[in-house]
């Protein structure tokens, strides 16, 4: 009896020097489908059976895949299914925000194994970096105690902060973290930890979390609209994030709308963000019970006028992103209470007319993602996993160059 399973996978490349790419293709197929036999892997990836067998054997030798007991699917020899070993690799993620720093450890499957947070003192990197260093060291120590041998299987550390990066220092702006954004924090963190460190803005990190194990799992072309202290977006094209030349792609919150009087309005995020809601409600964004206070404001109707205005602007943002980028869907989420995400989604309906509103769509124009303050830290940890194991053009390009 055949398995009633729709197998999803990226097509492999039966070319010399493409081994790195093909490894990633096999790993992705197992991530998307759970368990697959070698024959199913070969059909899904369009690789030869021998290529798949060689890759699976290598992955098994590296403890990246596990062979389950053989299963008889149809007439003939039983097939042995393979699955990814979550404990085969780990990554760390660090979020540096305005009032807090968080650290997360995830495994190869994207499952969270450890999370820690600390308040971030005032004073910028001079006072904050020692706190970040201590948090990373504590996370590594606890992960090693939880999972023996994990310390030797950490593939990297992802760092996420609000953008934009590399801007000229400004006068005090509650939406900016200029002292952090204009310092080589990733290099300093790499020197301190001995790990490969990559820097992303918070929207890109949250999108990576959704891509690895959330609402965007299995979707290659999408835009993630991130609602947090500010407003940002992340752009995925053919499974890879487009970061821009300076890691600032997707800073939609900095867009200046054209006003009826012919002038320019203030940046979109000044009216559509957690910071703007807190300003409207008179709340301190650093207060420990911020989310319950926002829940109360939504229940009482105190945020009604703000919600109407924010929802209207978000409609415009969605229409612009669809028009420019033509994604399969826009995933909407962020580091906010679930009640706020739901209220904003309601205010965004109906979406504005767009060429994305076409018949026969497989995905909705707007897909609701997670609402979780840990989303950015988790996504920061997901980036080293994706960079090491996901199919990417750079992997096959490097493999072909090495073969020449």
CATH of the domain at 50: 1.10.10.10
Q: How many domains does the chain fold into?
A: 3
Q: Which residue has the higher pLDDT, 207 or 239?
A: 207
Q: Do 151 and 113 meet the contact criterion of CB atoms below 8 Å apart?
A: no
The pLDDT of residue 169 is 60
Q: Are residues 8 and 137 in the same domain?
A: no
The CA R_g of the chain, rounded to the nearest whole Å, is: 22
- Distance, CA of 103 to CA of 340 (rounded, Å): 25
- Whether residue 273 sits in one domain with residue 186: no
CATH no. for residue 141? 3.30.420.40
**Predicted pLDDT at 107:** 94
pLDDT attached to residue 400: 42
Please tell me the distance from the alpha carbon of residue 24 to that of residue 30, in angstroms, as a whole number. Answer: 10
Q: 147 with 23, same domain?
A: no
229 and 296 part of one domain: yes
Q: Does the reported pTM lie above 0.85?
A: no
Residue 261 has pLDDT above 90, yes or no: no
CA distance 213 to 88: 17
- Tell me, yes or no, whether 295 lies in a domain: yes
Same structural domain for residues 123 and 198?
yes
Asked if residue 285 is part of any domain, the answer here is: yes
Instruction: Please report which confidence band the pLDDT of residue 101 belongs to, taking 50, 70 and 90 as the band edges.
Output: very high
Task: Write down the pLDDT at residue 116.
Answer: 96
Same-domain status, 39 and 100: no
Q: What is the DSSP letter of 149?
A: T
Residue 225: pLDDT above 50?
A: yes
Domain membership flag for residue 403: no
Residues 109 and 193 both lie in one domain:
yes
Per the domain annotation, does 400 fall within a domain? no
Among candidate residues 84, 110, 144, the one where a domain is terminated: 84
> Taking each helix axis from N to C terminus, what angle separates 49-61 and 19-33, rounded to the nearest 10 degrees?
80
Statement to judge: residues 154 and 78 lie in one domain: no
| pLDDT tens digits, 154-183 | 999 999 988 777 666 655 455 567 788 888
What per-residue confidence (pLDDT) applies to 30?
A: 93
**% of the chain with per-residue pLDDT over 90:** 64
Instruction: Categorize the per-residue pLDDT at 105 as very low, low, confident or very high, splitting at 50, 70 and 90.
Output: very high
In a domain, 136, yes or no: yes
pLDDT band at 73 (very low <50, low <70, confident <90, very high): low
Residue 399's pLDDT band (cuts 50, 70, 90): very low
- From 84, 103, 135, give the residue that closes a domain: 84
**pLDDT higher than threshold 60 for residue 401:** no
Summarised one tens digit per residue, pLDDT across range 12-40 is 655 555 888 899 999 999 998 989 999 99
What are the tens digits of pLDDT across the range 277-330?
Answer: 999 999 998 888 999 999 999 999 999 999 999 999 999 999 999 999 999 999
348 and 230 housed in the same domain: yes
Same domain for 94 and 3: no
Instruction: Decide if 300 is inside a domain.
Output: yes
Given a cut of 70, is residue 44 above it in pLDDT? Answer: yes
Q: Is residue 396 a part of any domain in this protein?
A: no
**Cα 161 to the chain's mean position, in Å?**
13
Average pLDDT over residues 200-223: 90
Residues 232 and 346 in one domain: yes
Name the residue with tokens 């890691």. 247
- Both 195 and 295 in a single domain? no
Instruction: Flag whether 237 is in a domain.
Output: yes
Average pLDDT, the chain: 88
**Domain span at 8:** 1-84
Q: Strands 231-237 and 65-67: what pairing?
A: unpaired
| Mutual angle of helices 274-281 and 304-325, in 10-degree steps | 160
């Amino acid at each position: 009896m055949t398995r009633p399973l729709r197998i999803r996978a990226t097509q492999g490349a039966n070319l010399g020097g493409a081994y790195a790419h093909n490894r990633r293709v096999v790993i992705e197929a197992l991530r998307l489908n759970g368990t697959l036999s070698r024959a199913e892997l070969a059909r899904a990836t369009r690789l030869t059976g021998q290529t798949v067998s060689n890759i699976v054997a290598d992955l098994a030798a590296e403890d990246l895949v596990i062979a389950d007991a053989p299963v008889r699917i149809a007439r003939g020899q039983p097939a042995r299914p393979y699955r990814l070993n979550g404990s085969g690799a780990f990554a760390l993620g660090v979020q540096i925000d305005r009032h807090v720093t968080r650290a997360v450890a995830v495994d190869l499957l994207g499952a969270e194994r450890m999370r820690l947070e600390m308040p971030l003192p005032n004073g910028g990197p001079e006072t904050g970096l020692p706190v970040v260093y201590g948090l990373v060291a504590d996370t590594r120590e606890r992960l090693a105690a939880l999972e023996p041998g994990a310390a030797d299987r950490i593939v990297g550390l992802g760092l996420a902060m609000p953008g934009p990066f590399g801007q000229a220092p400004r006068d005090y702006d509650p939406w900016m973290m200029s002292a952090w954004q204009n310092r080589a924090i990733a290099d300093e963190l790499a020197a301190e930890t001995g790990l490969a460190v990559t820097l992303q803005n918070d929207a890109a990190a949250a999108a990576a979390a959704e891509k690895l194990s959330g609402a965007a799992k299995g979707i290659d072309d999408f835009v993630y609209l991130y609602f947090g202290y500010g407003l940002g977006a992340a752009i995925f094209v053919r499974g890879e994030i487009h970061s821009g030349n300076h890691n600032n792609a997707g800073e939609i919150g900095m867009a200046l709308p054209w006003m009826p009087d012919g002038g320019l309005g203030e940046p979109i995020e000044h009216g559509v963000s957690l910071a703007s809601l807190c300003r409207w409600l008179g709340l301190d964004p650093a207060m420990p019970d911020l989310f319950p206070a926002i829940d109360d404001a939504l229940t009482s109707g105190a945020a009604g006028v703000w919600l109407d205005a924010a929802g209207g602007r978000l409609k415009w943002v969605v229409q612009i992103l669809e028009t420019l980028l033509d994604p399969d869907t826009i995933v909407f989420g962020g580091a906010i209470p679930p009640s706020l995400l739901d209220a904003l989604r309601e205010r965004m309906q109906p979406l504005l007319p767009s060429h994305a509103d076409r018949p026969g769509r497989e995905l909705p124009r707007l897909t609701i993602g997670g609402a979780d303050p840990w989303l950015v830290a988790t996504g920061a940890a997901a980036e080293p996993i994706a960079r090491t194991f996901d199919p990417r053009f750079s992997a096959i390009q490097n493999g072909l160059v090495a073969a020449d």
